[in-house]
Each structure stands twice: as C-alpha cells, then as structure tokens.
C-alpha cells in the first residue's frame, strides 16, 4: 500500500460524475490508489466501473458515509491523504418529495467524513479534503449576471440547502480546526452514465421509447451545461494545484433554455435513429406543472479557475450532446439495467402525478 504515491478516498464513485472521475483517475494515475466508497443507492451502479474494476490501483467498498465505524476502519486501513467527496443525494425533484435523505447523506454524511479526516490527520501536511459541490447553493439568477465565488449563498431547494450546509461545514472545519479543504461549485453536468431521471438522459430515454417528454413550466428556465469530462479535468487540476481553503466555480459558458436543450436532443436523436423528418420527436414534448420553487437561471463566472489554473471547458455543447446521445443509444443495455427495479416505481408514480 505504501508503494502508492497517493491514497485517495473517492465517495460516490459509482454515480454519474464519480464514475467518470474514477474511470479517468484510475487510468491516468497508475501510481495513485483509488478507493471508491459508495452505498450503491438507485443512482450508483457498478456497471459504470467495468473498465477499471480489476485495475491494481482500484478498490471498491460498498458502504454508507453515515456508517462512522466503517469510515474509521477505512482511514485506519488505507491511510488516505486525499478525500474527493462526491457522495450525495443529487436530484432536486426527489429532495422536494422527501428531504430527509438529503439531510442525512449530504449534511450528516459530510460531517462524518470531516470528523474522520480530522481524527486521522493530526499532521495536515500533504492532506486534502475536497468537497465537490454545486452552483445551486447560490440560488437563482434573473436574466443577467453570473455566480462568482463571492456570491452570497441563497439555496432554494432542500437539495441545494443540504449542499449549502455541507459547504458551510467544510469551511468551518478549515477555519476552526485547520483542516486542509477545497470546495468547487459546478453547473449542470451531462454525458455518459448520468442517471435517466435528470433532464438530458431522461429526454433521450423517452425519445428512444416514444414516451412523453415532461418539460416543466414553459421550458424557459436556463441552465449552464458542462460536459462531464471537462468537470473531471477541472477536479484533477484543482486537486493538484488548487489553494488550501479556496473555492473554485466551474461552468460550461453554455447557457440554454430547457426547451432548447430538449428540442436539440429530439433533432440529434432522430438523426441517429433515422427517424424522419428530423425533429419529429418534438411531438412528444409535454409542458407540465412547474417544479416547486424552480430556480430561474444559473450562470457561472469561470474567471478564477481560468486565470489561476488555466482551465476552461474544452467540449462544445454541439459536440458533447452528439457524443452523449450516441453513448445512450449504444448503451441501451445500461439504460435498461439502471431503470429496472426500485426506480421503476418512482418513475411510474411521477408520470402519473404529472398526468402523463
């Protein structure tokens, strides 16, 4: 174990961003040991990690960040120097339906990890607790302006409130105990392995199966979309070169109204499926009751990470969305597998509630 240059605990590494990150880190850094701790909720799937499951520098541990004795055991066993904390309940709609899991995992789970890191890192030299967070902590923008690292926190959903609380705890451990920490707050990711409850994979899945596509309100809300690989590259850079105690905002410089995203997905998917005329799937679009407290617009000022670390998004939306649609079309086995079981009931109930 001591032969590894770094020993990294990744939490939530079987989810969307986590699995993209683990796949990337395990291959790029053969001298780093990557230990992936994941509870495998409905959102975590080991098939996301097939490519690396037998790699000599990778270990998987099924477990819950609420399990303090497990965290203690893992820190004792592996002597981690870095924590990349991604485990979370991540879906806003679910947080509206049942906030409790969000408080438990996102807030209490983060505090458990902070406590165990503090206990095992009396000497903080070379140590880093990196919390992967969201731009939603900043609340909602009107038609102009962008979130900077100095924007005041103003979370609106139970999800964003729980992420804001966890960010506050991370900073509190930096100020109070001197724990070395970094936080990054990122905008909407898209790409392979995203669970098909989120707008982009849900839309692609519904187009494939000729099912109605629910668009909340009038579809005019704006999100800033970032290809997941670009996010992973940013995390890599921040982990290695970011400054202790700092926050970095990450965004795609790519604001789109939801309806624009959905229409684009209809066109690209129709093209790839050979449906004619291209765009015919737009007939599946249904405007449904708006999300409660629906944030109007997110946009990110990426100046800090750009000037300090030289990062900027590399994948243009047109290119990223074509790669994404192609991936889901090629991996319909994956879509089928992750939407079977318990998720099916949630999905059916949601559709019934929306009158679809």
Residue 53 to residues 50, 61, 225: CA-CA distances in angstroms? Answer: 5, 12, 29
The sign one gets for the Cα dihedral 187, 189, 195, 196 is positive
The footprint of ligand DAU on residues 282-301 (CB under 6 A) is: 291, 298
State the binding string over 191-220 for ligand NAD (x if CB under 6 A, else -).
----x-------------------------
* Contact with ligand DAU (CB under 6 A) among 198, 231, 264, 297: 198
Q: What track of x and - describes contact with ligand DAU for positions 221 through 240 (by CB under 6 A)? A: x-x-----------------
* One residue of 4, 38, 164, 232 binding ligand NAD per CB under 6 A: 38
Q: Which two tokens stand for residue 106?
A: 């996102």
Residue 40: closest CA among 252, 195, 268? 195
Among positions 329-348, residues that touch ligand NAD (CB under 6 A) are none
CA distance 347 to 344: 5
Q: Which is nearer to ligand DAU, 81 or 197 (CB)?
A: 197
3-state secondary structure of 21: helix
Q: What CA dihedral angle connects 100, 105, 108 and 112, to 10 degrees?
A: 160
Question: What backbone torsions phi and psi does residue 305 show, to the nearest 5 degrees?
Answer: -65, -30
Q: Which of 23, 82, 95, 105 binds ligand NAD (CB under 6 A)?
A: 105
The residues assigned a catalytic role are 135-136, 159
Residue nearest ligand DAU (C-beta atom):
134
In the stretch 99-118, what mask flags binding to ligand DAU with x, by CB under 6 A? --------------------
Q: What angle (nearest 5°) sits at the alpha carbon of residue 103, between those of residues 100 and 105?
A: 105
Element (H, E) at 88: none
Q: Which residues would be at the binding site for ligand NAD (CB under 6 A)?
A: 11-12, 14-18, 38-41, 43-44, 64-66, 86-90, 105, 109, 132-134, 163, 186, 188-189, 195
């Amino acid at each position: 174990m001591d032969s590894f240059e770094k020993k990294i605990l990744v939490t939530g590494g079987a989810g969307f961003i986590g699995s993209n990150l683990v796949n990337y880190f395990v291959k790029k850094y053969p001298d780093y040991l990557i230990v992936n701790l994941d509870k495998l909720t409905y959102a975590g799937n080991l098939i996301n990690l097939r490519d690396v499951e037998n790699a000599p520098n990778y270990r998987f541990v099924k477990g819950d960040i609420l399990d303090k004795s497990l965290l203690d055991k893992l820190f004792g066993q592996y002597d981690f120097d870095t924590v990349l904390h991604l485990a979370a309940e991540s879906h806003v709609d679910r947080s509206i339906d049942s906030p409790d899991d969000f408080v438990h995992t996102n807030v209490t789970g983060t505090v458990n990890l902070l406590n165990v890191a503090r206990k095992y890192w009396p000497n903080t030299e070379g140590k880093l607790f990196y919390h992967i967070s969201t731009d939603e902590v900043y609340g909602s923008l009107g038609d102009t302006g962008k979130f900077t690292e100095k924007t005041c926190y103003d979370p609106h959903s139970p999800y964003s409130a729980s992420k804001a609380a966890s960010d506050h705890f991370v900073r509190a451990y930096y100020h109070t105990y001197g724990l070395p920490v970094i936080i990054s707050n990122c905008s909407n990711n898209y790409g392979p392995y995203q669970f098909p409850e989120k707008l982009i994979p849900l839309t692609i899945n519904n187009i494939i199966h000729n099912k109605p596509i629910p668009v909340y309100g009038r579809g005019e809300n704006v999100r800033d979309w970032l290809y997941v690989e670009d996010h992973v590259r940013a995390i890599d850079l921040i982990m290695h070169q970011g400054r202790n105690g700092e926050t970095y905002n990450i965004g795609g410089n790519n604001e789109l109204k939801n309806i624009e995203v959905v229409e684009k997905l209809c066109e690209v998917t129709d093209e790839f499926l050979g449906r004619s005329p291209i765009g015919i799937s737009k007939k599946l679009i249904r405007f449904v009751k708006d999300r409660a407290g629906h944030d109007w617009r997110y946009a990110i000022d990426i100046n800090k990470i750009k000037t300090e670390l030289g990062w900027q998004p590399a994948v243009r939306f047109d290119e990223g969305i074509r790669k994404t649609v192609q991936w889901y079309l090629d991996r319909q086995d994956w879509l089928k597998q992750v939407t079977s079981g318990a998720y099916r009931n949630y999905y059916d109930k949601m559709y019934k509630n929306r009158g679809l």
